[in-house]
Amino acid sequence: MALEHAILVSLTERAGSGYELAHRFDRSIGFFWPATHQQIYRVLRRMDEAGWVTHTEVAQEGRPDKKVYQVSATGRDELARWLAEPVDPAVLRDGLAVKIRGASLGDTAAVLREVVRHRGEHAALLEVYHGIRRRDFPKPAKLSGRELHQYLVLRGGIRAEESFLAWCDEVIEAMRSEQS
């Protein structure tokens, strides 16, 4: 329902091919709206048929040709329409929480090791976010418009990862002192 709109936002920032979009999704907008390249190709074609985007075939040397997509006037209208509409609150699907809840029905120590592993992954992602922040937004107080909005979304990612990390620490501590 909203992958279309995530693509419209990304394509408005910069035109690009499905392949490029898939990579942007892997390292920015996809942190909040994950999508694989197959989804993106399929949705792009649908959007093209609906007239929300247009494409230009670009021949390349030594590389396969590509289709560079651009948002059309209809697409901009559709995006504006969607932006004014309510969205469902964020959905979280967390297998680790299910495991922690069921920990005593299996190997509690293994679940604890899994929490430690997740802690590492969240710490790594937090570092990625901090890196983007330093590189792209060195002076946050001066931002406005699109840059401010991109920064605010990044702040959401940073907050979410910090909160995950702190939760993992709380779980690790509580489960460790329980076992000893």
Partner DNA sequence: AGCCCCATGTAAGACGTTACATGATTGT
Partner DNA sequence: ACAATCATGTAACGTCTTACATGGGGCT
Contact footprint for DNA (CB under 7 A): 1, 3, 17-20, 23, 34-39, 41-42, 44-45, 60, 62-67
Chain positions 46 to 65 lying near its own copies, rule: CB under 8 A, are none
How far apart CA 20 and CA 68 sit, in angstroms, is 9
Are 52 and 8 spatial neighbours (Cβ–Cβ below 8 Å)? yes
Shortest Cβ 59–its own copies spacing (Å): 31
Measure the N-to-C terminal CA separation of the chain; round to a whole number of Å: 49
Q: Quick check: helix, strand or coil at residue 68?
A: strand
Are 31 and 13 spatial neighbours (Cβ–Cβ below 8 Å)? no
How far apart CA 121 and CA 166 sit, in angstroms, is 13
Query: Which tokens belong to 42?
Result: 């399929």
How far apart CA 40 and CA 22 sit, in angstroms, is 7
127 is an interface residue for its own copies by CB under 8 A = no
73 is an interface residue for its own copies by CB under 8 A = no
Shortest Cβ 22–its own copies spacing (Å): 16
Comparison of 37 and 133: residue with beta carbon closer to DNA? 37
Could you list the residues that contact its own copies (CB under 8 A)? 2, 5-6, 8-9, 12, 29, 31-34, 76, 79-84, 86-107, 110-111, 114, 117-118, 121-122, 144-146, 148-150, 152-153, 155-156, 159-160, 162-164, 166-167, 170-171, 174-175, 178
